[in-house]
Structure 1
Amino acid sequence: MAGPIDLRLRWRCVPFEGLSVHELYAALALRAQVFVLEQNCVYLDLDGHDPAVLHLLGQDDDSGELLAYARLVPPGTKGPGQTQPMIGRVVTSPAARGRGAGRALMEQALRACAEHWPGQAVEIQAQSYLRAFYVSLGFVATSEPYLDDDIEHIDMRREFKAEFTVD
């Protein structure tokens, strides 16, 4: 398999209205491919939050194919209990796995959060098996593991840092 050095992604972080029809279709298709089909988890992905969040797209620099995607959720979007920005719907295409796309996606997401919500911590609801990956990005667990759609998750938080750095 190809190494991370050959993966060149072009990043766009846009509000819902800034997505083209093709970008929206690609994002929803990738989310369904991974979260519904691969993870065998039937749930309503279209939760009503897409119009209120920023969409981070990592497209192959040559083909334009969407290889990485995440939602950046402003504070309060999910209700008054959500006081910090969140990164959610973090997903990489099977074609990009093992090539550094996940780390590049999270680094871009953290940079975008720092730009849009300076001085604020960032929260995620991570699948538990990825805990060490998120710890390597500076996140710490803030909950015990719990089931969400029959998949074990853990809440995590990364405190604000003046400059984005990977620990």
Structure 2
Amino acid sequence: MGIQFKTRTFKELSVEELYQILQLRSEVFVVEQNCVYQDIDGKDQKAIHIIGEYDNKVVAYTRIFKPGDYFENASIGRVVIDANYRDRKWGHDLIRESVTAIARHFGESPITISAQLYLQKFYESHGFVVVGETYLEDGIPHIEMLRN
């Protein structure tokens, strides 16, 4: 059996789901990437959460925002895959699921992301194009990308 996706508003998240999401984000963004930053940023309450589960464990995650809540356009953020499952290429499924969820919840919309620079080609494979210069966010090179 493969990865299973579910979509939740903040209020629909169970305590267990929220715990696993925050644990995964911390494991990857703080520990693995050695980046001290404020992950709990007050935006989760506005987001719709895309959760990828395998064997009852959260192994993939994004949060999506309607236009105007984060960027002018709809957006996808906190894209993360558990390191133990990256060889399964579920990141591609996660992005497709996130793009579909944006269309389902907010209608057809351009999507803006703040992508880590090393993932530029990954996002280009999903129709995103670079629209800005490289910049540092929490000490990590990022690039703004857009999908129309």
Q: Smaller-chain TM-score range?
A: over 0.9
What is residue 60 of structure 2 aligned with on the other side? 68
Gap regions ≥5 residues in structure 1: 1-6, 160-167
Out of 129, 132, 136, which is 2:118 matched to? Answer: 129
Gap regions ≥5 residues in structure 2: none
Q: Deviations over 1:81-129 (max 9, x none)?
A: x221110000000111021111110010011011112121011100001
What is residue 8 of structure 2 aligned with on the other side? 14
Is 1:144 aligned with 2:136? no
TM-score normalised by structure 2 residue count: 0.97
Aligned-partner SS, 2:38: coil
Matches of 2:125 and 2:29, distance apart in 1 = 23
TM-score normalised by structure 1 residue count: 0.86
What is residue 89 of structure 1 aligned with on the other side? 78
Aligned-partner SS, 1:91: strand
Greater Cα offset, 84-93 or 111-120? 111-120
Query: What is the count of residue pairs matched by the alignment?
Result: 148
Aligned-partner SS, 1:51: coil
Matches of 1:119 and 1:23, distance apart in 2 = 28
Percentage of pairs with the same residue: 42
Aligned-partner SS, 2:99: helix
Answer whether contact 2:102 2:108 (CA < 8 A) is retained: no
Bigger strand fraction? 2
- Following superposition, the deviation at residue 35 of structure 1 comes to 0.2
Letter in 2 for 1:105: L
Is 1:28 aligned with 2:17? no
What is residue 154 of structure 1 aligned with on the other side? 143
Q: Deviations over 1:112-155 (max 9, x none)?
A: 01111212101110000110110010000011111111100000
